[in-house]
Protein backbone atom coordinates (compact mmCIF):
# COMPACT_ATOMS: atom_id res chain seq x y z
CA UNK A 1 0.00 0.00 0.00
CA UNK A 2 1.66 3.26 -1.11
CA UNK A 3 1.12 6.28 1.09
CA UNK A 4 1.81 9.75 -0.30
CA UNK A 5 2.08 12.83 1.81
CA UNK A 6 1.50 16.34 0.44
CA UNK A 7 2.88 19.05 2.68
CA UNK A 8 0.75 22.20 2.60
CA UNK A 9 3.86 24.35 2.73
CA UNK A 10 6.28 23.33 -0.01
CA UNK A 11 7.60 26.72 -1.08
CA UNK A 12 8.14 30.34 -0.04
CA UNK A 13 4.93 32.05 1.08
CA UNK A 14 1.78 31.00 2.91
CA UNK A 15 0.76 27.32 3.25
CA UNK A 16 -1.93 26.11 0.85
CA UNK A 17 -5.44 25.39 2.17
CA UNK A 18 -6.71 21.81 1.91
CA UNK A 19 -9.96 21.41 -0.04
CA UNK A 20 -10.32 17.64 0.48
CA UNK A 21 -11.23 15.63 3.58
CA UNK A 22 -10.56 12.13 4.86
CA UNK A 23 -12.53 9.59 2.84
CA UNK A 24 -12.56 11.60 -0.40
CA UNK A 25 -11.39 9.86 -3.56
CA UNK A 26 -9.15 11.87 -5.88
CA UNK A 27 -7.71 11.35 -9.31
CA UNK A 28 -4.09 12.01 -10.29
CA UNK A 29 -3.86 15.71 -11.09
CA UNK A 30 -6.89 16.70 -8.99
CA UNK A 31 -6.61 19.93 -7.04
CA UNK A 32 -6.33 19.06 -3.32
CA UNK A 33 -5.17 22.38 -1.80
CA UNK A 34 -5.46 25.96 -3.00
CA UNK A 35 -3.31 29.00 -2.44
CA UNK A 36 -4.45 31.14 0.44
CA UNK A 37 -6.43 34.21 -0.68
CA UNK A 38 -4.47 37.49 -0.79
CA UNK A 39 -1.23 35.69 0.08
CA UNK A 40 1.76 34.48 -1.87
CA UNK A 41 1.37 30.76 -2.39
CA UNK A 42 0.60 27.91 -4.76
CA UNK A 43 -2.00 25.27 -5.54
CA UNK A 44 -1.22 21.62 -4.81
CA UNK A 45 -2.53 18.72 -6.91
CA UNK A 46 -2.50 15.03 -6.11
CA UNK A 47 0.19 13.09 -7.96
CA UNK A 48 -1.68 9.80 -7.54
CA UNK A 49 -5.24 8.49 -7.74
CA UNK A 50 -6.46 7.24 -4.40
CA UNK A 51 -8.24 7.81 -1.13
CA UNK A 52 -7.55 10.69 1.24
CA UNK A 53 -6.83 9.09 4.62
CA UNK A 54 -5.88 12.09 6.72
CA UNK A 55 -5.84 15.89 6.55
CA UNK A 56 -3.95 17.89 9.18
CA UNK A 57 -2.86 21.51 9.38
CA UNK A 58 0.47 20.43 7.83
CA UNK A 59 -0.30 17.78 5.25
CA UNK A 60 -2.74 15.69 3.24
CA UNK A 61 -2.15 11.95 3.15
CA UNK A 62 -3.41 9.88 0.23
CA UNK A 63 -3.22 6.10 -0.24
CA UNK A 64 -2.75 5.20 -3.88
CA UNK A 65 -5.38 2.78 -5.14
CA UNK A 66 -3.50 1.27 -8.05
CA UNK A 67 0.28 1.11 -7.77
CA UNK A 68 0.67 0.64 -11.51
CA UNK A 69 -1.70 3.44 -12.48
CA UNK A 70 -1.31 5.12 -15.86
CA UNK A 71 0.43 8.47 -16.09
CA UNK A 72 -2.82 10.22 -17.09
CA UNK A 73 -3.94 13.23 -15.09
CA UNK A 74 -6.79 15.72 -14.65
CA UNK A 75 -6.04 18.51 -17.10
CA UNK A 76 -5.70 22.19 -16.25
CA UNK A 77 -8.43 24.57 -17.36
CA UNK A 78 -6.96 28.10 -17.43
CA UNK A 79 -6.97 29.96 -20.73
CA UNK A 80 -3.68 31.85 -20.77
CA UNK A 81 -0.09 30.62 -20.38
CA UNK A 82 0.38 32.62 -17.17
CA UNK A 83 -2.99 31.36 -15.88
CA UNK A 84 -1.94 27.76 -16.60
CA UNK A 85 1.38 28.26 -14.77
CA UNK A 86 -0.50 29.66 -11.78
CA UNK A 87 -3.14 26.94 -11.81
CA UNK A 88 -0.45 24.23 -12.17
CA UNK A 89 1.21 25.37 -8.92
CA UNK A 90 4.67 25.70 -10.44
CA UNK A 91 7.43 27.10 -8.22
CA UNK A 92 11.10 27.80 -8.90
CA UNK A 93 12.93 24.48 -8.76
CA UNK A 94 16.47 25.71 -8.31
CA UNK A 95 16.10 27.22 -4.85
CA UNK A 96 13.52 28.10 -2.23
CA UNK A 97 10.52 27.65 -4.50
CA UNK A 98 9.30 31.14 -5.32
CA UNK A 99 5.88 30.90 -7.04
CA UNK A 100 6.60 31.14 -10.77
CA UNK A 101 3.41 32.98 -11.77
CA UNK A 102 4.41 35.88 -9.51
CA UNK A 103 7.94 35.97 -10.97
CA UNK A 104 6.48 36.18 -14.47
CA UNK A 105 3.68 38.61 -13.73
CA UNK A 106 5.64 41.78 -14.59
CA UNK A 107 6.87 42.29 -18.15
CA UNK A 108 10.51 43.24 -18.74
CA UNK A 109 11.51 46.47 -20.44
CA UNK A 110 12.78 46.54 -24.01
CA UNK A 111 16.01 44.56 -24.36
CA UNK A 112 15.08 42.23 -21.46
CA UNK A 113 16.59 38.79 -21.06
CA UNK A 114 15.47 35.44 -19.66
CA UNK A 115 18.36 33.38 -18.30
CA UNK A 116 17.72 29.66 -18.14
CA UNK A 117 19.72 28.15 -15.31
CA UNK A 118 21.02 24.78 -16.48
CA UNK A 119 24.18 25.11 -14.41
CA UNK A 120 23.44 22.21 -12.03
CA UNK A 121 25.54 24.03 -9.52
CA UNK A 122 25.81 21.41 -6.77
CA UNK A 123 28.18 18.48 -7.26
CA UNK A 124 26.58 14.99 -7.58
CA UNK A 125 23.16 16.28 -8.70
CA UNK A 126 22.44 15.29 -12.31
CA UNK A 127 18.70 15.56 -12.89
CA UNK A 128 18.73 18.98 -14.58
CA UNK A 129 21.51 18.05 -17.00
CA UNK A 130 19.87 14.68 -17.65
CA UNK A 131 16.66 16.53 -18.50
CA UNK A 132 18.44 18.94 -20.85
CA UNK A 133 20.18 16.02 -22.59
CA UNK A 134 16.95 14.09 -23.08
CA UNK A 135 14.36 16.87 -23.42
CA UNK A 136 16.22 19.85 -24.84
CA UNK A 137 13.36 20.72 -27.21
CA UNK A 138 10.79 20.87 -24.40
CA UNK A 139 13.12 22.85 -22.09
CA UNK A 140 13.74 25.40 -24.86
CA UNK A 141 10.00 25.60 -25.54
CA UNK A 142 9.50 26.37 -21.84
CA UNK A 143 12.09 29.13 -22.12
CA UNK A 144 10.29 30.53 -25.18
CA UNK A 145 6.97 30.55 -23.33
CA UNK A 146 8.57 32.52 -20.49
CA UNK A 147 10.15 34.94 -22.99
CA UNK A 148 6.74 35.52 -24.56
CA UNK A 149 5.05 36.10 -21.19
CA UNK A 150 7.61 38.66 -19.96
CA UNK A 151 8.24 40.17 -23.44
CA UNK A 152 11.95 39.35 -23.38
CA UNK A 153 14.06 39.99 -26.47
CA UNK A 154 16.72 37.44 -25.61
CA UNK A 155 17.08 34.08 -23.92
CA UNK A 156 20.39 32.69 -22.65
CA UNK A 157 20.91 29.15 -21.44
CA UNK A 158 23.66 29.12 -18.80
CA UNK A 159 25.37 25.75 -18.53
CA UNK A 160 28.74 24.49 -17.30
CA UNK A 161 31.28 23.99 -20.05
CA UNK A 162 31.90 20.40 -18.89
CA UNK A 163 28.37 19.31 -19.92
CA UNK A 164 29.20 18.75 -23.57
CA UNK A 165 26.37 16.34 -24.40
CA UNK A 166 23.71 18.65 -22.95
CA UNK A 167 25.26 21.68 -24.66
CA UNK A 168 25.29 19.87 -28.02
CA UNK A 169 21.62 18.88 -27.57
CA UNK A 170 20.72 22.52 -26.88
CA UNK A 171 22.72 23.85 -29.84
CA UNK A 172 21.12 21.35 -32.23
CA UNK A 173 17.62 22.41 -31.10
CA UNK A 174 18.43 26.10 -31.25
CA UNK A 175 20.15 26.06 -34.66
CA UNK A 176 18.00 27.84 -37.19
CA UNK A 177 14.84 27.58 -35.05
CA UNK A 178 15.19 30.07 -32.26
CA UNK A 179 16.47 33.53 -32.95
CA UNK A 180 17.33 35.43 -29.82
CA UNK A 181 18.23 32.28 -27.86
CA UNK A 182 21.85 31.33 -27.20
CA UNK A 183 24.06 29.28 -24.88
CA UNK A 184 26.45 30.75 -22.31
CA UNK A 185 29.21 28.42 -21.07
CA UNK A 186 30.39 28.70 -17.46
CA UNK A 187 33.30 27.22 -15.48
CA UNK A 188 32.81 24.30 -13.11
CA UNK A 189 32.77 26.28 -9.86
CA UNK A 190 30.34 26.54 -6.96
CA UNK A 191 28.02 28.60 -6.78
CA UNK A 192 27.80 29.45 -10.48
CA UNK A 193 24.05 28.77 -10.42
CA UNK A 194 23.27 31.36 -7.75
CA UNK A 195 20.85 33.86 -9.29
CA UNK A 196 23.06 36.93 -8.86
CA UNK A 197 26.19 34.99 -9.92
CA UNK A 198 24.37 34.02 -13.12
CA UNK A 199 23.37 37.61 -13.87
CA UNK A 200 26.95 38.71 -13.21
CA UNK A 201 28.36 36.05 -15.56
CA UNK A 202 25.78 36.47 -18.33
CA UNK A 203 25.01 40.20 -18.11
CA UNK A 204 28.24 41.52 -16.60
CA UNK A 205 26.28 43.24 -13.84
CA UNK A 206 26.58 42.57 -10.09
CA UNK A 207 23.32 43.19 -8.24
CA UNK A 208 23.29 44.22 -4.58
CA UNK A 209 22.08 41.56 -2.17
CA UNK A 210 18.67 43.20 -1.86
CA UNK A 211 18.14 43.68 -5.61
CA UNK A 212 16.04 41.31 -7.71
CA UNK A 213 16.89 40.15 -11.26
CA UNK A 214 14.16 42.51 -12.52
CA UNK A 215 16.59 45.36 -11.73
CA UNK A 216 18.95 43.92 -14.35
CA UNK A 217 15.95 43.70 -16.72
CA UNK A 218 16.23 39.92 -16.36
CA UNK A 219 14.26 36.89 -15.28
CA UNK A 220 16.07 33.71 -14.17
CA UNK A 221 14.39 30.32 -14.35
CA UNK A 222 15.72 26.87 -13.63
CA UNK A 223 15.88 24.21 -16.40
CA UNK A 224 13.31 21.89 -14.84
CA UNK A 225 11.02 24.84 -14.09
CA UNK A 226 11.09 25.60 -17.84
CA UNK A 227 10.19 21.99 -18.59
CA UNK A 228 7.30 22.00 -16.11
CA UNK A 229 6.09 25.26 -17.71
CA UNK A 230 6.16 23.50 -21.08
CA UNK A 231 4.04 20.69 -19.60
CA UNK A 232 1.53 23.09 -18.03
CA UNK A 233 1.09 25.26 -21.11
CA UNK A 234 1.35 22.71 -23.94
CA UNK A 235 -0.02 19.62 -22.19
CA UNK A 236 -2.21 21.19 -19.48
CA UNK A 237 -0.42 19.13 -16.87
CA UNK A 238 -0.41 20.24 -13.23
CA UNK A 239 2.95 20.23 -11.45
CA UNK A 240 2.74 16.77 -9.86
CA UNK A 241 5.98 15.00 -10.82
CA UNK A 242 9.58 15.89 -10.06
CA UNK A 243 12.92 14.65 -11.41
CA UNK A 244 15.27 13.64 -8.61
CA UNK A 245 18.89 12.55 -8.22
CA UNK A 246 19.29 9.77 -5.65
CA UNK A 247 22.92 9.16 -4.74
CA UNK A 248 25.38 8.00 -2.14
CA UNK A 249 25.80 4.79 -0.16
CA UNK A 250 23.38 2.77 -2.25
CA UNK A 251 23.37 -0.93 -3.11
CA UNK A 252 22.59 0.04 -6.70
CA UNK A 253 24.44 2.58 -8.86
CA UNK A 254 25.98 5.33 -6.74
CA UNK A 255 24.25 8.14 -8.68
CA UNK A 256 20.81 7.57 -10.19
CA UNK A 257 18.28 9.92 -11.76
CA UNK A 258 14.57 9.17 -11.44
CA UNK A 259 12.31 11.01 -13.84
CA UNK A 260 8.78 12.09 -12.94
CA UNK A 261 8.74 10.92 -9.33
CA UNK A 262 5.23 11.66 -7.96
CA UNK A 263 5.45 14.54 -5.47
CA UNK A 264 4.53 13.16 -2.04
CA UNK A 265 6.60 9.97 -2.46
CA UNK A 266 8.40 9.02 0.78
CA UNK A 267 12.19 9.40 0.83
CA UNK A 268 12.52 5.82 2.08
CA UNK A 269 10.62 4.34 -0.86
CA UNK A 270 12.78 6.30 -3.31
CA UNK A 271 15.94 4.95 -1.65
CA UNK A 272 14.49 1.44 -1.83
CA UNK A 273 13.88 2.01 -5.55
CA UNK A 274 17.55 2.97 -5.87
CA UNK A 275 18.56 -0.37 -4.34
CA UNK A 276 18.49 0.57 -0.64
CA UNK A 277 21.26 1.92 1.61
CA UNK A 278 24.47 -0.06 1.69
CA UNK A 279 25.29 -0.24 5.38
CA UNK A 280 25.69 2.47 7.94
CA UNK A 281 25.51 6.05 6.71
CA UNK A 282 26.23 9.55 8.03
CA UNK A 283 23.57 12.02 6.89
CA UNK A 284 20.39 11.59 4.90
CA UNK A 285 20.15 14.83 2.94
CA UNK A 286 17.33 16.35 0.92
CA UNK A 287 18.94 18.66 -1.63
CA UNK A 288 22.56 19.00 -2.74
CA UNK A 289 25.77 18.44 -0.75
CA UNK A 290 26.25 22.20 -0.18
CA UNK A 291 22.77 23.47 0.61
CA UNK A 292 20.71 20.37 1.38
CA UNK A 293 19.08 19.81 4.74
CA UNK A 294 18.86 16.66 6.81
CA UNK A 295 15.76 14.59 6.17
CA UNK A 296 14.22 11.29 7.29
CA UNK A 297 13.09 8.13 5.51
CA UNK A 298 9.47 9.06 6.25
CA UNK A 299 9.66 12.60 4.84
CA UNK A 300 7.88 13.24 1.53
CA UNK A 301 9.33 14.56 -1.70
CA UNK A 302 8.15 18.17 -2.14
CA UNK A 303 8.01 20.42 -5.19
CA UNK A 304 11.54 21.73 -4.60
CA UNK A 305 13.22 18.38 -3.88
CA UNK A 306 16.14 17.88 -6.26
CA UNK A 307 18.38 15.36 -4.53
CA UNK A 308 18.27 12.62 -1.91
CA UNK A 309 21.78 11.83 -0.67
CA UNK A 310 22.91 9.01 1.61
CA UNK A 311 26.31 10.14 2.82
CA UNK A 312 29.39 8.32 4.09
CA UNK A 313 29.78 7.96 7.87
CA UNK A 314 31.47 10.82 9.74
CA UNK A 315 35.20 10.97 10.31
CA UNK A 316 36.24 11.43 13.92
CA UNK A 317 37.04 15.11 14.47
CA UNK A 318 39.43 16.79 16.91
CA UNK A 319 38.38 17.80 20.39
CA UNK A 320 37.78 21.41 19.29
CA UNK A 321 36.69 22.53 15.84
CA UNK A 322 36.08 25.96 14.28
CA UNK A 323 33.17 26.59 11.92
CA UNK A 324 33.41 28.86 8.89
CA UNK A 325 29.99 29.49 7.36
CA UNK A 326 29.21 30.49 3.77
CA UNK A 327 25.98 32.24 2.72
CA UNK A 328 25.68 29.92 -0.29
CA UNK A 329 26.64 26.66 1.42
CA UNK A 330 25.57 24.69 4.49
CA UNK A 331 24.23 26.99 7.19
CA UNK A 332 25.41 27.21 10.79
CA UNK A 333 22.81 24.69 11.97
CA UNK A 334 24.00 21.99 9.59
CA UNK A 335 27.66 22.63 10.45
CA UNK A 336 26.75 22.31 14.13
CA UNK A 337 25.01 18.98 13.41
CA UNK A 338 28.05 17.69 11.51
CA UNK A 339 30.54 18.81 14.18
CA UNK A 340 28.45 17.07 16.82
CA UNK A 341 28.41 13.87 14.78
CA UNK A 342 32.20 14.15 14.37
CA UNK A 343 32.40 14.23 18.15
CA UNK A 344 33.96 17.74 18.23
CA UNK A 345 33.23 20.64 20.50
CA UNK A 346 32.75 23.96 18.67
CA UNK A 347 35.55 26.39 19.53
CA UNK A 348 34.22 29.30 17.47
CA UNK A 349 31.94 30.25 14.59
CA UNK A 350 32.85 32.74 11.87
CA UNK A 351 30.98 33.82 8.74
CA UNK A 352 32.66 34.65 5.44
CA UNK A 353 32.90 38.44 5.38
CA UNK A 354 30.78 38.57 2.22
CA UNK A 355 27.91 36.77 3.99
CA UNK A 356 25.45 39.50 4.96
CA UNK A 357 22.40 38.95 7.14
CA UNK A 358 19.28 40.22 5.41
CA UNK A 359 15.61 39.30 5.90
CA UNK A 360 16.42 36.47 8.34
CA UNK A 361 18.86 34.79 5.96
CA UNK A 362 22.46 35.14 4.85
CA UNK A 363 23.23 36.31 1.33
CA UNK A 364 26.60 36.67 -0.37
CA UNK A 365 27.65 40.06 -1.70
CA UNK A 366 29.51 38.55 -4.66
CA UNK A 367 28.84 34.80 -4.88
CA UNK A 368 31.87 32.69 -5.62
CA UNK A 369 34.48 35.49 -5.59
CA UNK A 370 36.63 35.13 -2.49
CA UNK A 371 37.13 38.24 -0.34
CA UNK A 372 40.03 36.59 1.55
CA UNK A 373 39.71 34.14 4.47
CA UNK A 374 43.00 34.47 6.39
CA UNK A 375 41.50 36.76 9.04
CA UNK A 376 38.64 34.31 9.71
CA UNK A 377 40.98 31.31 9.85
CA UNK A 378 43.28 33.14 12.31
CA UNK A 379 40.27 34.09 14.47
CA UNK A 380 39.19 30.45 14.69
CA UNK A 381 42.74 29.33 15.52
CA UNK A 382 42.86 31.95 18.26
CA UNK A 383 39.52 30.68 19.62
CA UNK A 384 41.18 27.28 20.14
CA UNK A 385 40.18 25.40 16.98
CA UNK A 386 42.35 22.37 16.18
CA UNK A 387 40.66 21.89 12.79
CA UNK A 388 38.12 23.69 10.61
CA UNK A 389 34.73 22.60 9.32
CA UNK A 390 33.73 24.88 6.45
CA UNK A 391 30.90 25.29 3.95
CA UNK A 392 32.64 27.79 1.65
CA UNK A 393 32.33 28.12 -2.12
CA UNK A 394 35.04 26.75 -4.45
CA UNK A 395 37.06 29.98 -4.54
CA UNK A 396 36.95 30.60 -0.78
CA UNK A 397 37.77 26.96 0.04
CA UNK A 398 40.80 27.40 -2.17
CA UNK A 399 41.81 30.42 -0.07
CA UNK A 400 41.24 28.55 3.21
CA UNK A 401 43.47 25.79 1.85
CA UNK A 402 46.19 28.32 1.17
CA UNK A 403 46.51 29.24 4.86
CA UNK A 404 44.88 26.68 7.22
CA UNK A 405 47.33 23.78 6.63
CA UNK A 406 50.26 26.16 7.32
CA UNK A 407 48.64 26.92 10.67
CA UNK A 408 48.40 23.15 11.28
CA UNK A 409 44.61 23.24 10.95
CA UNK A 410 43.18 20.27 9.02
CA UNK A 411 40.14 21.26 6.93
CA UNK A 412 36.84 19.40 6.64
CA UNK A 413 34.12 20.54 4.23
CA UNK A 414 30.35 20.13 4.69
CA UNK A 415 30.20 18.25 1.38
CA UNK A 416 32.83 15.62 2.35
CA UNK A 417 30.45 12.86 3.43
CA UNK A 418 28.31 13.14 0.29
CA UNK A 419 31.30 13.36 -2.06
CA UNK A 420 33.14 10.47 -0.41
CA UNK A 421 30.02 8.32 -0.74
CA UNK A 422 30.14 8.55 -4.55
CA UNK A 423 33.97 8.63 -4.88
CA UNK A 424 33.86 12.25 -6.04
CA UNK A 425 36.87 14.57 -5.69
CA UNK A 426 36.58 16.59 -2.45
CA UNK A 427 36.09 20.38 -2.45
CA UNK A 428 39.54 21.70 -1.49
CA UNK A 429 42.28 23.43 -3.49
CA UNK A 430 41.41 24.49 -7.04
CA UNK A 431 43.70 23.05 -9.69
What does the binding site for ligand SF4 look like in residue numbers (CB under 6 A)?
A: 191, 326-329, 352, 354-355, 364, 367-368, 370-371, 392-393, 396
Closer to ligand SF4 by Cβ: residue 172 or 374: 374
Is the CB of 100 or the CB of 354 nearer to ligand SF4? 354
> Residue 130 or residue 412: which is nearer to ligand SF4 going by CB?
412
Taking the least distance from each CB to ligand SF4, the nearer of 182 and 371 is 371
Closest separation in Å from C-beta 16 to ligand SF4: 33
3-state secondary structure the chain: CCEEEEECCCCCCCCCEECCCCCCEECCCCEEEECCCCCCCCCEECCCCEEEEEECCCEEEEEECCCCCCCCCCCCCCCCHHHHHHHHCCECCCCCCCEHHHHCCCCCCCCCEEEEEECCCCCCCCHHHHHHHHHHHHHHHHHHHHHHHHCCCEEEEEEECCCHHHHHHHHHHHCCCCCCEEEEEECCCCCCCCHHHHHHHHHCCCCCCCCCHHHHCEEEEEHHHHHHHHHHHHHCCCCCEEEEEEEECECCCCEEEEEEEECCCEHHHHHHHCCCECCCCCCEEECCCCCCEECCCCCECCCCCCEEEECCCCCCCCCEEEEEECCCCCCHHHHHHHHHHCCCEEEEEEECCCEEEECCEEEECCCCCCCCCHHHHHHHHHCCCCEEEECCCHHHHHHHHHHCHHHCCCEEECCHHHHHHCCCCCCCCCC
CB 352, min distance to ligand SF4, A = 3
- Find the shortest distance in angstroms from Cβ 289 to ligand SF4: 14
* CB nearer ligand SF4, residue 167 or residue 392: 392
Kindly tell me which of 193 and 329 has the beta carbon lying closer to ligand SF4: 329
CB of 188 to ligand SF4, least distance (A): 15
Q: How far is the CB of 361 from ligand SF4 (least distance, A)?
A: 12
Please say which residue, 191 or 238, places its beta carbon nearer to ligand SF4: 191
What's the CA gap between 63 and 265, in Å, rounded? 11
Is-contact 328 194, C-beta < 8 A?
yes
Number of C-alpha atoms within 13 angstroms, CB side, residue 154? 15
Could you tell me the smallest distance in angstroms from the CB atom of residue 397 to ligand SF4? 8
Residue 286 beta carbon to ligand SF4: minimum distance, rounded to whole angstroms: 21
Nearer to ligand SF4, 43 or 415 (CB): 415
Nearest to ligand SF4 of 221, 393 (CB atom) = 393
Q: How far is the CB of 226 from ligand SF4 (least distance, A)?
A: 25
Q: Smallest distance from the beta carbon of 4 to ligand SF4, in angstroms? A: 36
Amino acid sequence: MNRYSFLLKQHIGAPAIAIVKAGDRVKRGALIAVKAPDAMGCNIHSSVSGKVTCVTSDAIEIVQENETEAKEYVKLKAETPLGLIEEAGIVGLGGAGFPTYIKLSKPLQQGGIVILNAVECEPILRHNIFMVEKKAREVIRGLQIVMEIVHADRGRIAIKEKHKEATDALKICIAGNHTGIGVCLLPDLYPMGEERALIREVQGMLLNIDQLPMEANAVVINAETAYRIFEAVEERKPFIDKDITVAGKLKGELIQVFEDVPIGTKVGSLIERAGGCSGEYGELIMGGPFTGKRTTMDSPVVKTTGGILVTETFLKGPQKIGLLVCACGADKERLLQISQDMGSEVAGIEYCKQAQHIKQAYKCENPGKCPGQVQKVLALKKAGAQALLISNCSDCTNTVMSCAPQLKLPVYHCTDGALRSVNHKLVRRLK
